[in-house]
């Protein structure tokens, strides 16, 4: 399946055996049943209460006396610890432990069993306790009220030393949030006690809200309050120094006025997940390290024939609302829609019906999202229980008590890429797979192998082009947080084809109003994204058309006799040398193909120009990044482009068992040679439209294969149309290696008359088009004589030169030099 869940924790495997062992020890010591006494049928009472920021898992169960027992599983040591036993038959629904494990906060309600007396204080429905547990000592009642209270300790970023003050959030069903400040002190050695427990200072940090979510990893509180029936999303950031700030507020076009009260990720509300989900709204906020901020929303469903859900890409300034119809829906459907945070993607799925991967960083085109529906086995293999998406990629299955890491499966995505018939699914699967691998050579090799065998499989986009652009993007993506704004991640700019099974509406949304003046970390990146949305018109993505423009400027200047400075020329050629060196340093193994083995000034100029233009592009937009780092990023990116092209040619070369002898004209081209010629032609098509450079030697190899594989009239047509370029190396090999049969002489003559006209060049012994040095040399001699004559007799008139005579003389001179 596209989504792979890797279990990090399982109550049945990581806790239950320990509890049984504790019971056995207790019985053997004659202590009888105690707090750790767990019978076989007590497993149903064992469930997860909370996952703290440090990864520790708090769970609870009932012993054989009905007492509530709290335990903790340490994710680092993989050990269990008994925290506290509350000797009353109550139901616990919220619990949190501070980072030092000295304080425990818990909220309990009356047991639902009939005939049970009220164990709580008269008139109260919920009892919220604060307990000293190092060692177990005093118990303080924080709240005894007729409404539900949730608890959550704050975890400072610096955990190397204990803080004298602990902060505890209390979230009330009466729509307010308080923060308690709890001072602790050590007495009698390591004993930790609460100071001034009779009066704990507290602040009310939010009120009149209808929805709230806790981000345990980043210590953020998101909540929505209603102002004039408008839903306003706000965020509070808690810091290591125990301060906090309201970071932003932004209006959302969603209706929550009749939705009741809902909390997300304030522990695991086990009993809530046992209820039916069919009529509940789903709302959650996801972020990632790149500064993205997404709000995922699915309203209450009036009927199960159709599902609608929206994603507000707040960091992009727009929202997308998706609608899909469901088939074979039972009358008693209890499973609700699930949103999962997968970092670069958001997953939306309804078990048994559909699975949707949404690209968070590049949400503009629907083809970069993967939508699967129907009886696809990838959908059927996903858990059918509701999942709770915690911070990062952690996912909690409250029903089974399992904690997973949610990952995208490379193997399943490759399988989908190979098997699907839809271009949109091929596109999405390709990008998902490359995101998972991010430059992994094994993954790229598998994709190249498939592309080589299915180069014409896509009709809506060029498969080679898309692979080269996307893979090169991921190779440097992690170098800077702004790379998604500076480099294209796809060759496709528009997508007008509908995605089967889903409709889409895109709308602009209001940007957040930031409430602070200085930003660090995530907030700096989010603010940068918002500034980009506001002011980046047009967008900053690099376009190689700047190289095309500079290339044509150089040719135009050449025609008019202008020349760039020697320093400019030297810099361009030095750039190309650096790219080739960087490329060769990446690949220490031998290459079978004769690429990168000749001086190809045409491609070296393109390389050098691209280095220059891309470096200027980065320097303009990456302020504060060292120039040396920018230069290396540019070299890495262009080297990756060229390396991928080499890799595609090399893969096909090896696949068809070709060797260097193929460059000798001793027989007609085989089917294997024609296959390589075909893939090289497709590479040429892909790079030409983007004006990308090719590895030096590519045109020579392509032309020689063309000579061997194509009939003469097809060969000449390819030359005339620019598909094959006549390089100096290729022409010399043709002249020397072909014997002088009538057929070969006809071929030679046809090649010679198609040699490009020579031009004076700013680079010695090179040309903007393709070189043929013997011919060029003779023309230079004629040009020098002409220049000398003009200098000696500047006022004399000049007759027109007989072009045919010059051509014949040049060809005869060339034949003499070659010994033909």
Q: How far is CA 271 from CA 49, 87, 430, 669, 672, in A?
A: 11, 21, 40, 72, 65
Q: Are 141 and 198 in contact (CB under 8 A)?
A: no
* Contact of 99 with 159, CB cutoff 8 Å: yes
Residue written as token pair 């498939």:
450
What's the pLDDT score for residue 278? 40
Cβ pair 622, 722 in contact under 8 A: no
Cross-strand partners of 373 = 354
pLDDT tens digits, 11-22: 999 999 999 888
Contact (Cβ atoms closer than 8 angstroms) between residue 736 and residue 818: yes
Number of alpha carbons in the 13 Å side-chain half-sphere of residue 597? 12
3-state SS assignment for residue 591: coil
Question: Alpha carbon of 42 to those of 45, 64, 366: distances in Å?
Answer: 6, 8, 49
Please check whether residue 477 is in contact with residue 484, taking contact to mean a CB–CB distance below 8 angstroms: yes
Q: Rounded CA gap, 766 and 770, in Å?
A: 8
Q: Is 176 exposed, middle or buried (0-12, 13-18, 19+ CB in 10 A)?
A: middle
Tokens at 14, concatenated: 């990581």
What is the C-alpha separation between 586 and 743, in angstroms, rounded? 44
| Per-residue confidence (pLDDT) for residue 277, from 0 to 100 | 39
- CA dist 533 and 164 (Å) reads 43
Structure tokens at 140: 């303080």
Q: Which residues of the chain have pLDDT under 70?
A: 1, 30-43, 111-123, 158-163, 259, 269-280, 302-304, 328-335, 374-383, 439, 588, 660-667, 757-759, 761-810, 812-820
């Amino acid at each position: 399946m596209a989504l792979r869940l890797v279990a990090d924790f399982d109550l049945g495997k990581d806790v239950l055996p320990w509890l049984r062992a504790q019971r056995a020890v207790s019985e053997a010591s004659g202590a009888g049943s105690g707090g750790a006494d767990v019978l076989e049928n007590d497993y149903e009472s064992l469930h997860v209460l909370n996952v703290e920021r440090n990864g520790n898992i708090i769970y609870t169960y009932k012993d054989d006396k009905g007492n509530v027992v709290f335990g903790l599983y340490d994710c680092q040591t993989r050990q269990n610890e008994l925290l506290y036993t509350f000797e009353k038959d109550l139901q616990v629904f919220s619990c949190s432990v501070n980072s030092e494990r000295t304080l425990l906060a818990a909220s309990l309600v009356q047991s639902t069993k009939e005939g049970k007396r009220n164990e709580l204080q008269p008139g109260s429905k919920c009892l919220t306790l604060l307990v000293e547990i190092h060692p177990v000592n005093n118990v303080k009642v924080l709240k005894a009220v007729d409404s539900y209270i949730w608890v959550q300790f704050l975890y400072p970023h610096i955990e190397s030393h204990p803080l004298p003050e602990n902060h505890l959030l209390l979230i009330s069903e009466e729509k307010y949030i308080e923060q308690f400040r709890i001072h602790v002190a050590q007495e009698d050695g390591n004993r930790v006690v609460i100071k001034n427990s009779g009066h704990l200072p507290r602040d009310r940090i939010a009120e009149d809200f209808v929805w709230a979510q806790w981000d345990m990893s980043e210590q953020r509180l998101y909540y929505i309050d209603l102002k004039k029936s408008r839903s306003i999303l706000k965020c509070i950031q808690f810091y290591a120094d125990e301060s906090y700030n309201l970071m932003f507020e932004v209006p959302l076009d969603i209706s929550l006025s009749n939705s009741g009260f809902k909390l997300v990720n304030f522990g695991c509300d086990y009993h809530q997940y046992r209820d039916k989900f069919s009529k509940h709204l789903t709302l959650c906020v996801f972020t990632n390290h790149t500064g993205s901020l997404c709000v995922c929303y699915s309203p209450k469903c009036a009927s199960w024939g159709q599902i609608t859900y929206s994603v507000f890409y707040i960091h992009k300034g727009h929202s997308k609302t998706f609608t899909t119809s469901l088939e074979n829906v039972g009358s008693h459907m209890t499973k609700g829609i699930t949103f999962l945070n997968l970092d670069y993607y958001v997953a939306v799925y309804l078990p048994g019906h559909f699975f949707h991967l949404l690209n968070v960083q590049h949400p503009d085109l629907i083809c970069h999202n993967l939508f699967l529906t129907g009886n696809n086995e990838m959908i059927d293999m996903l858990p059918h229980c509701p999942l709770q998406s915690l911070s990062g990629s952690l996912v909690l299955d409250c029903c089974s008590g399992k904690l997973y890491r949610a990952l995208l499966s490379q193997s399943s995505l490759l399988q989908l890429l190979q098997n699907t018939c839809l271009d949109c699914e091929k596109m999405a699967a390709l990008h998902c797979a490359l995101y998972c691998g991010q430059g992994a050579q094994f993954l790229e090799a598998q994709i190249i192998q498939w592309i080589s065998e299915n180069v014409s499989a896509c009709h809506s986009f060029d498969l080679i082009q898309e692979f080269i652009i996307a893979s090169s993007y991921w190779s440097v993506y992690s170098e800077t947080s702004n790379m998604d704004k500076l480099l294209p991640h796809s060759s496709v700019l528009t997508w007008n084809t509908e995605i089967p099974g889903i409709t889409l509406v895109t709308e602009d949304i209001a940007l957040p109003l930031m409430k602070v003046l200085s930003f660090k970390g995530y907030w700096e990146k989010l603010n940068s994204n918002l500034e980009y949305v506001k002011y980046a018109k047009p967008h900053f993505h690099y376009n190689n058309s700047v190289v095309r423009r500079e290339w044509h400027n150089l040719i135009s200047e050449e025609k008019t006799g202008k020349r760039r400075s020697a320093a400019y020329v030297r810099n361009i050629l030095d750039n190309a040398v650096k790219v080739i060196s960087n490329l060769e340093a990446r690949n220490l193994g031998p290459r079978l193909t004769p690429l990168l083995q000749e001086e190809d000034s045409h491609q070296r100029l393109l390389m050098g120009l691209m280095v220059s233009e891309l470096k200027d592009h980065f320097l303009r937009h990456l302020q504060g990044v060292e120039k040396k780092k920018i230069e290396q990023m540019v070299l890495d990116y262009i080297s990756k482009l060229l390396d991928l092209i080499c890799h595609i040619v090399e893969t096909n070369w090896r696949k068809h068992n070709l060797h260097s002898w193929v460059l000798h004209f001793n027989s007609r081209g085989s089917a294997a040679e024609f296959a390589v010629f075909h893939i090289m032609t497709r590479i040429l098509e892909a790079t030409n439209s983007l004006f990308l450079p090719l590895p030096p030697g590519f045109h020579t190899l392509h032309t020689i294969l063309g000579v061997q594989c194509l009939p003469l009239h097809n060969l000449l047509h390819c030359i005339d149309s620019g598909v094959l370029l006549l390089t100096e190396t290729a022409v010399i090999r043709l002249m020397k290696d072909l014997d002088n049969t009538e057929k070969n002489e006809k071929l030679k003559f046809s090649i010679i008359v198609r040699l490009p006209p020579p031009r004076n060049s700013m680079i010695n012994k090179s040309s903007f088009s393709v070189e043929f040095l013997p011919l060029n040399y003779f023309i230079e001699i004629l040009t020098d004589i002409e220049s000398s004559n003009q200098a000696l007799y500047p006022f004399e008139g000049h007759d027109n030169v007989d072009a045919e005579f010059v051509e014949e003389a040049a060809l005869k001179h060339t034949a003499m030099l070659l010994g033909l």
